Amino acid sequence: MANIEAPHDTTGDKIAASQVTGSNVYDRAGEKLGSVYDIVIDKRSGHTDYAVLSFGGFLGIGDRYHPLPWQQLRYDTQLSGYVVDLNRSQLESAPNYEAQDIGTWTGGHSRAVDDYYGTGTPPGGGDAGLGPLPIR
């Protein structure tokens, strides 16, 4: 299990945040959709609100960043990654932003993500704190 001495150990039911970042994300058919670029944690409650999926680019060029409500992800030990109940076209239509927009997304945009996925406001309140630019 991940702990201070062995943060890379993912065999238990806990995982270090540093291990979530970079984890692959798959659809239910096992097709890789992208990878976790970052996670968003509500700083007051400590709840993980979103996994930010890097998707659509090639070798890091042209990537789009798709915040997924954390409860949409399920860890699959066989794939050593996360599985979502989404297909590529659903993800392409989802709210997203570009690399230069990171740090500029507001709670209002979190609402758009929550509405798209039908998840409601996450336990942490949903303000991912990523700023005032419109998400696409």
| Rounded Cα distance, 122 and 44, in Å | 13
Cross-strand pairs, 48? 41
pTM of the model: 0.75
Contact (Cβ atoms closer than 8 angstroms) between residue 132 and residue 106 = yes
pLDDT in tens, 104-124: 656 666 788 888 888 765 554
Residue 75: pLDDT band (50, 70, 90) is very high
Identify which of 48, 61, 49, 65 has the alpha carbon closest to the alpha carbon of residue 103. Answer: 65
pLDDT value for 110: 76
Neighbouring-strand partners of residue 69:
50
**Superfamily per CATH, domain 17-117:** PRC-barrel domain (2.30.30.240)
Kindly list the domain boundaries of the chain, sorted by start residue: 17-117
